[in-house]
């Protein structure tokens, strides 16, 4: 056992955290564990109608401890634990939080425990819509284009918009804030026992894609950019950072406190964090010019290319291009859809409303049976909708939908746009509407691929990762048909966590670089979907309809905004 080397990958998603222990020699999973955030499950601190989505740091801390300890126990206990060499973490993003001088999130401090503004602002929180618009308008006043590396449009899902919104909305939080920290930066800081916010090693991935950090700017935009945006931000850059680090760099070693909690050694090396999709792309064995799609509640699409190929190119309307954000030495380009699995979940909730609401009032069945029926219904509804939707002929007259139920991430970020369904009639049943929604998510994926190609970045194939990719052959075959491209599905269940484990193997010195870790620990692909050429013409027609409807929806939103501003 002494010659064995194990690593841990931790993946924080929107609803849960999952950890894996893998053999660093070959990437084989020894154990995995998933922890659903209890406060999040109860809907605490969230107001979906207002697009407010906050998460309490205790959900993250409890999930970290629970999943790692369970993994160790399942894998074999102390014999496994003593051979764990490295641990790395990925998270959603941009999911920042206000912290004090010790780097402690304010929600963990007296007086702020129940304050949503003192908690992590989840990536899909869009309360900073106006602030994002202000940043976009403000950026036009400068000779330097500070938005050039984030696709030219700043989003309400990102670091600065959320910071500005928070300090405007809550004076107490603004006064207590010593810095503003991404989730992926805070967890490694926590694990290494950090107690000085200035010592946090900031992720190149997070800073470049969401915080306007760029090598060309020698860091963040200058203080004048922010203080002239709003005086409340005067002095803010002094509270943040200049340097960033790629995820093949160690953040430190496991603190004595966390080593005791987890049953691990203080020799375990902790890596600099990154966003889930970026590490997921590594876990999914990304190749240059192949688009890695992490498909869960949303999608995050990652493409890597040699830095020399990208030099001088700026892709409009994406979520950034950052050297080293995925694989050190290569440019990482990010895009995505703000709602993917969330679109299906929304429709599922619509259909489930009578069951959830009325079964408890039933005079025919008892409470236990009612709960059992709810669980059975929830488990079966999407698979059955998929089965029946697959039987519907693909026709240009079918119901048509737009997938912007949580705004549009790319191309051309706009959280103001909304979802839509058209072509409804008295024969429009649940499977037909579900099919329209599934098509919309696939058309949204095509819009991203088309933008890359239009901007001179080839897309040679698709790699599918995440829950939807693994669970829905119906959606994956449709996407392959819509894109006219094969889609390979990575066989590892927790691919983002595997990517984190690969980075852990690098920071622990087991492999010299990420490419070597990918080659040794990659687990390959178990399914491939090939496009059906018979569907190409009708899907192209449908896609043209989608673009026309999307243009109409966007124009209506723009008119409404202009009316409000007038």
Residues 367 and 270 in one domain: no
Give the CATH number of the domain where residue 268 resides. 3.30.420.40
Mean pLDDT of 557-561: 71
Residues 117 and 244 in one domain: yes
The tens digit of pLDDT for each residue in 55-77 reads 999 999 999 999 999 999 999 99
Q: pLDDT class for 212, splitting at 50, 70, 90?
A: very high
Which of 237, 413, 425, 418 shows the shortest CA–CA distance to 337? 413
Q: How many domains does the chain have?
A: 2
**Would you list the DSSP string of 443-503?**
HHHHHHHHHHHHTT----EEEEESHHHHH-HHHHHHHHHHHTS-EEEES-TTHHHHHHHHH
Number of H helices, E strands in the chain: 20, 20
The tens digit of pLDDT for each residue in 450-495 reads 999 999 999 999 999 988 999 999 999 999 999 999 999 999 999 9
Residues 394 and 541 in one domain: yes
Which of 324, 501, 529, 562 shows the shortest CA–CA distance to 445? 529
Residues 381 and 522 in one domain: no
Residue 297 lies in a domain: no
CB 63 within 8 A of CB 17: yes
In the block, residue with structure tokens 């994002």? 132
Indicate if the pLDDT at residue 566 is higher than 70: no
Q: 476 is written with which tokens?
A: 């994956």
Identify the pLDDT of residue 240: 97
Residue 333 lies in a domain: no
pTM: 0.92
Q: pLDDT class for 560, splitting at 50, 70, 90?
A: low
Residues 16 and 146 in one domain: yes
Identify the pLDDT of residue 2: 59
β-sheet bridge partners, residue 323: 331
Residues 471 and 516 in one domain: no
Q: pLDDT class for 563, splitting at 50, 70, 90?
A: low
Residues 187 and 214 in one domain: yes
Q: pLDDT class for 557, splitting at 50, 70, 90?
A: confident
Identify the pLDDT of residue 562: 60
The tens digit of pLDDT for each residue in 144-160 reads 999 999 999 999 999 99
Mean pLDDT of 414-436: 96
In the block, residue with structure tokens 């993250």? 60
Q: pLDDT class for 141, splitting at 50, 70, 90?
A: very high
Residue 307 lies in a domain: no
| Interatomic CA distance for residues 446 and 444, integer angstroms | 5
Mean pLDDT of 241-254: 98
Mean pLDDT of 546-552: 97
CB 452 within 8 A of CB 459: yes
Identify the pLDDT of residue 565: 47
CA angle 88, 336, 190 (to 5 degrees): 25
Residue 289 lies in a domain: no
Identify the pLDDT of residue 395: 94
Question: Using omega within 30 degrees of 0 as the cis cutoff, is the peptide bond preceding 233 cis?
Answer: no
Residue 330 lies in a domain: no
Mean pLDDT of 351-374: 91
Identify the pLDDT of residue 515: 97
Residues 165 and 110 in one domain: yes
Rg (CA), the chain: 23
Residue range(s) defining the domain that contains residue 103: 6-284+492-526
| Interatomic CA distance for residues 154 and 169, integer angstroms | 20
Residues 110 and 258 in one domain: yes
Residue 306 lies in a domain: no
Residue 319 lies in a domain: no
Mean pLDDT of 407-428: 94
Indicate if the pLDDT at residue 360 is higher than 90: no
Residues 261 and 365 in one domain: no
Mean pLDDT of 495-509: 97
Spatial strand order of the sheet with 330-337 comes to: 321-323, 330-337, 299-306, 290-295, 461-465, 487-490, 525-529
Residues 475 and 516 in one domain: no
Residues 64 and 96 in one domain: yes
Residue 300 lies in a domain: no
Distance of CA 112 to CAs 98, 103, 313, 434, Å?
Answer: 11, 15, 45, 42
4-23 burial string, b = 16+ CB within 10 Å, else e? ebbbbbbbbbbebbbbbbbb
Indicate if the pLDDT at residue 1 is higher than 60: no
């Amino acid at each position: 056992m002494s010659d064995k080397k194990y690593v841990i990958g931790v993946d924080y998603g929107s609803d849960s955290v999952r950890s894996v222990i893998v053999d660093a020699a070959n990437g084989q999973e020894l154990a995995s564990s998933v922890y659903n955030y209890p406060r999040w499950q109860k809907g605490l601190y969230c107001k979906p109608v207002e697009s407010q989505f906050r998460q309490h740091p205790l959900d993250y801390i409890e999930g970290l401890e629970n999943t790692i300890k369970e993994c160790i126990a399942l894998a074999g206990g102390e014999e496994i634990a003593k051979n764990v060499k490295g641990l790395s973490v990925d998270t959603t993003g941009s999911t920042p939080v206000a912290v004090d001088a010790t780097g402690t999130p304010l929600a963990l401090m007296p007086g702020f425990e129940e304050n949503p503004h003192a908690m992590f602002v989840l990536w899909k929180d869009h309360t900073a819509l106006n602030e994002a618009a202000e940043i976009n308008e403000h950026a036009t006043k400068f000779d330097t284009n500070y938005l050039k590396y984030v696709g030219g449009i700043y989003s309400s899902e990102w670091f600065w918009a959320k910071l500005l919104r928070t300090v405007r909305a809550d004076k107490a939080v603004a006064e207590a804030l010593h810095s503003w920290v991404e989730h992926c930066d805070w967890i490694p800081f926590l694990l290494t026992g950090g107690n000085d916010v200035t010592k946090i090693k900031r992720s190149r991935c997070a800073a470049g894609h969401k915080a306007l950090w760029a090598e060309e700017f020698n860091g963040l935009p200058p203080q004048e950019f922010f203080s002239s945006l709003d005086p409340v931000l005067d002095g803010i850059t002094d509270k943040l950072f200049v340097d960033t680090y790629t995820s093949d760099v160690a953040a430190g070693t496991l603190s004595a406190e966390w080593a005791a909690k987890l049953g691990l050694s203080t020799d375990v090396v902790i890596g600099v964090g990154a966003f889930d999709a970026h590490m997921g792309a590594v876990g999914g064995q990304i190749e240059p010019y192949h688009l890695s799609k992490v498909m869960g509640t949303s999608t995050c699409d990652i493409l890597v290319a040699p830095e020399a190929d990208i030099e001088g190119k700026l892709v409009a309307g994406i979520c950034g291009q950052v050297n080293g954000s995925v694989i050190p030495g290569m440019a990482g380009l990010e895009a995505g859809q703000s709602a993917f699995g969330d679109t299906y979940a929304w429709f599922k909730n619509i259909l489930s409303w009578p069951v959830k609401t009325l079964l408890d009032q039933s005079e025919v069945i008892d409470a236990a049976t009612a709960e059992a029926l709810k669980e059975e219904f929830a488990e079966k509804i999407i698979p059955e909708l998929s089965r029946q939707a697959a039987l519907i002929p693909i026709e240009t007259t079918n119901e048509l939908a737009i997938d912007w139920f949580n705004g549009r991430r790319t191309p051309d970020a706009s959280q103001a746009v909304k979802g839509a369904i058209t072509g409804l009639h008295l024969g429009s049943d649940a499977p037909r509407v579900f099919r329209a929604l599934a098509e919309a998510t696939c058309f949204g994926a095509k819009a991203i691929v088309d933008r890359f190609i239009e901007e001179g970045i080839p897309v040679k194939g698709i790699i599918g990762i995440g829950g939807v990719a693994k669970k829905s052959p119906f959606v994956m075959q449709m996407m392959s048909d819509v894109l006219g491209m094969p889609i390979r599905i990575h066989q590892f269940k927790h691919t983002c966590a595997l990517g984190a484990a690969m980075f852990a193997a690098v920071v622990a010195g087991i492999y010299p670089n990420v490419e070597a870790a990918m080659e040794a620990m990659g687990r390959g692909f178990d399914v491939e979907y090939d496009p059906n050429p018979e569907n190409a013409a009708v899907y192209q027609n449908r896609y043209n309809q989608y673009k026309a409807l999307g243009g109409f929806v966007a124009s209506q939103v723009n008119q409404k905004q202009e009316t409000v501003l007038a």
